[in-house]
Amino acid sequence: MAAKTIISRPIYGTLSPQPGKHHLFIADAEGALAITDMAGKAPSGFFDGAEIVFIPSPESKHIAALEALKPMQLHVAPSFASLLPRLKQTLTNAHMGLRVYLAGTEGLIGQAMQVALEAGIDHTSIETEHRGSLARRMQCVHCKGITENVTTQPATCSHCGLLLLVRDHYSRRLAAFQGVCINAEDRSEIPPIEEAFP
């Protein structure tokens, strides 16, 4: 569970079953366990109206556990990028009252939240639970490129190559933390690079 630091940094909760007939779950890797944990608290028949979209880890764990919940639909996708067209379509066609649940890494929660916001769903109505890696999605404030799965502090921008301080300042619109050049005033200063977001 990531610690709260500054106000723009997202705070995640624990998934809980919401009233309603239609439920959309989006999860990656260990996020599957947030769904199976929640299932114990769900009323019977809850998953009859649920779609689960799941991006497994490379070891393909937890797929069977999700199948066992007998959701109306289980869709397994290889990556978030591959999932995006389908997700946009699902949200565009969604009826009023659809409940959205996001579980897994911050990158997954942030990007799925971004798509949901664009579809007009209020962020405070979305259930979230952080599970698994603390890796961050980072936008370089200088070149605007996004670097995925940042685990170190500082981190190198995968686009322009500047060494960036990964701030806690977070944009829901960009689904990213802000990266700012850490040695802009004197490029010869190279601070030690530490594993900060394992």
Site residues (CB under 8 A) for other proteins? 6-9, 139, 141-142, 144, 162, 167-169, 171-174, 178, 180-181, 184-187
Nearer to other proteins, 17 or 107 (CB): 107
Residue number with CB closer to other proteins (21 or 172): 172
Q: What's the min distance (Å) between Cβ of 187 and other proteins?
A: 8
User: Residue 184 Cβ, how far from other proteins at the closest point, in Å?
Assistant: 3
Q: What is the dihedral of CA 92, 172, 134, 126, to 10 degrees?
A: -50
Answer positive or negative: Cα dihedral of 139, 145, 148, 149: negative
When the beta carbons of 55 and 121 are compared against other proteins, the nearer one is 121
Is 9 or 22 the residue whose CB approaches other proteins more closely? 9
Distance of closest approach, residue 148 Cβ to other proteins, in angstroms: 17
Strand partners, 146: 139
Rounded Cα distance between 147 and 126, Å, is: 25
Q: CB under 8 Å to 40, separation ≥6 — which residues?
A: none
139, 150 Cβ separation under 8 angstroms: no
